[in-house]
Chains A and B, each alone.
Chain A
């Protein structure tokens, strides 16, 4: 826990300054998680505000401060899921949809402004986001929480409120799909390399 239970209790009983302190404590972590869940830096703050907005209006439903973190992650998952669903609908109605980040990267790369490390990071982001396209939005979020955010099955169990075995099966299937896409991508890269070499 990043804050004392007492602070959460105060926020729950309507103390706005306590709520602000809770947001200050968690916002960096939550915004980071959102950044990795949705893959669009320009929308991270907006989704983050939606998470804390939902928190503000649902805090009184929190049974005990002990379950605060899973509760906050649950709100994060739901907001990210809603965002990804909206994005998908928007993408379906548009032919190409590059994020601001991708456009900036492409521009900077064209202008030779990016250093090798930034290029590598950009490539990793692109690769992982392309791989995660092979699973549903729900599985994308679940897999990212497990594999990238490093949450344990026990933590995921509390967030999703389903039993561990069901999560394991779902994670295994999602991971297999991503792995398959990864291997296919690797194979294609090798073929391309062989042809060029």
Chain B
């Protein structure tokens, strides 16, 4: 019996809801619906934008320019000095490396010169030239062209 009643009520409720749906049909929006919607979206967006602007302004105020400590300038000059010394020591190191390289090169050239000091030719350049000239002169005299 109860089950019958429940079924009955269930279908009655369905019917009631269907009637309710019919009583309030889908309705189209008025002509202003979309423009109004966009206005609201824009207002909401602007509200967020302005709120963000206010927040940034508050932040500017919440983090004021700090009070400076008395040690600021001395510490700055110490750092400038340290950087300057660092640069000087780099330059000095570079100069030392250059000097060492020059000394090594000079030493190497001395060694090479010493090794090559053995004469390659048995006669000097002047001797060789002289010998060649003698031959040329004898040939000229033999040919009778020499006057």
Contact = CB atoms under 8 A, between A and B. Distances in A.
Question: Do A and B assemble together?
Answer: yes
Interface of A: 20, 23-24, 27-29, 31-32, 35-36, 39, 41, 44-45, 48-49, 52-53, 56-57, 120-122, 124-125, 127-128, 131, 147-150, 175, 178-179, 182-183, 186
Contacts, number: 82
B53 A182 contact: no
Interface stretch (B23-31, B73-81, B116-124, B127-135): B73-81
Contacts of A178: 52
A32 B56 contact: no
Is chain B's binding surface mostly helix, strand, loop or mixed? Answer: helix
Contact of A36 (B51, B63, B76, B79): B63
Interface string B84-114: 0000000000000000000000000000000
B85 to A, nearest CB: 13
B52 A179 contact: yes
Contact of B79 (A28, A53, A125): A53
B68 A31 contact: yes
A31 B75 contact: no
A148 B56 contact: yes
B110 to A, nearest CB: 43
Interface of B: 48-49, 51-53, 55-56, 58-66, 68-69, 72-73, 75-76, 79-80, 83
21 contacts: A24-B73, A27-B68, A28-B65, A31-B66, A31-B68, A32-B63, A35-B66, A36-B60, A39-B63, A45-B68, A45-B69, A52-B76, A57-B80, A125-B63, A128-B62, A148-B59, A178-B52, A182-B48, A182-B52, A182-B55, A186-B51
Given A45-B72, A57-B83, A148-B60, 8 more contacts: A32-B63, A32-B64, A32-B66, A36-B63, A49-B75, A125-B59, A128-B62, A182-B55
B52 A35 contact: no
